[in-house]
Amino acid sequence: MNILKNGCRRHGILAALILGLAAIAVLFALELLLLRGFGLNASSTAFILADAALRFGLGIFVLFLLFRLEITKNPGFRAKGLGKSLLLAWPFFLLFAGILVFSLISAGLTGRSVGPGWVLTQIVFMASVGFFEELVFRAGVVNLIKNQLGGSRSALVKTAVMAAVIFSLAHCLNLIGHADLTYTLSQVITNFGMGLFLSTLYLRTGNLIGPMIFHTVNDIVPAIAGQTLVDTQAAAAASSGLSPSILVTFVLYLALSAFYLRRVTGE
């Protein structure tokens, strides 16, 4: 254990890369077990809820590792900084609200509404995604890199960028799950922006709950839009990350991250 602790301190960037890729690889392996070992259908409610439980469980295990390896003493589960974290993300919440309103209007016109059971299942699943990925990539990856580079403002900027790259690259592993190449590449690109923004929020506030909430909302809105939009091509675009709204959020990610990083405070 001491060897691992020293390795995390001295080679934080390498450890961050290993953590990010390994966590997603383990998740995919366990999801494959659910699909083939237990014979669950990938689109069934049983699989979605089992996958959510799996992500919550892996997140708790990652949290245990963070404390055990002394990567962080305070991952950010606190009220302090939560309001600021959510406030800094107000342009995105405004955009998400617009997408939801448009989706609800579309559903009302066509009758393609979604049931409360489906919505609740999606919320539980997306919350598990936010919980797991924020523990891995913010509480884990960001702190590993920060511990190596230091707490100066320039070091924190480098930390945010490196963490975003690792978060982005981890989504290449979607190809293991036979995801479409174009879809995977779009995820890699857009998730760099998202990862940069979430890392910036985490470094600015030290709060992990805000990024978890944002991550959950960011994932659930396209899922609902994909089920309610009138045009099937528009729905596919909304769920695949190729819609104009997603491109707008990507630009916003980069612009706001650059602005907020100018004011990030070092130690």
The answer to the question of residue 206 being in a domain is yes
Does residue 267 lie in a domain region? no
pLDDT for res 239 = 47
Give the pLDDT score at 243.
Answer: 60
- Angle 118-106-44 (CA atoms, 0-180°, nearest 5)? 20
Which sign, positive or negative, has the C-alpha torsion 229, 233, 236, 237?
Answer: negative
* CB-CB neighbours of 105 under 10 Å: 12
| Per-residue pLDDT tens listing for the chain (267 residues) | 788 888 898 899 999 999 999 999 999 999 988 888 888 888 899 999 999 999 999 999 999 999 999 999 999 999 999 999 999 999 999 988 998 888 888 777 777 777 889 899 999 999 999 999 999 999 999 999 999 999 899 999 999 999 999 999 998 877 666 567 777 777 888 899 999 999 999 999 999 999 999 999 999 988 888 777 655 444 444 444 456 767 777 889 999 999 999 988 765
Q: What is the pTM of this model?
A: 0.91
CA-CA distance, 221 to 81, in Å (whole number)?
A: 24
DSSP class of residue 152 equals S
pLDDT digit string, tens, across residues 211-253 = 999 999 999 988 888 777 655 444 444 444 456 767 777 889 9
Percentages helix, strand, coil for the chain, rounded to the nearest 5?
80, 0, 20
Could you tell me if residue 100 is inside a domain? Answer: yes
Q: Is residue 209 situated within a structural domain?
A: yes
14 located within any domain: yes
Q: What Rg, from alpha-carbon coordinates, does the chain have?
A: 18
Domain count, the chain: 1
In a domain, 266, yes or no: no
Residue span of the structural domain in which 142 resides: 2-261
In a domain, 108, yes or no: yes
Residues 69, 147: contact at Cβ < 8 Å? no
Inside any domain, residue 221: yes
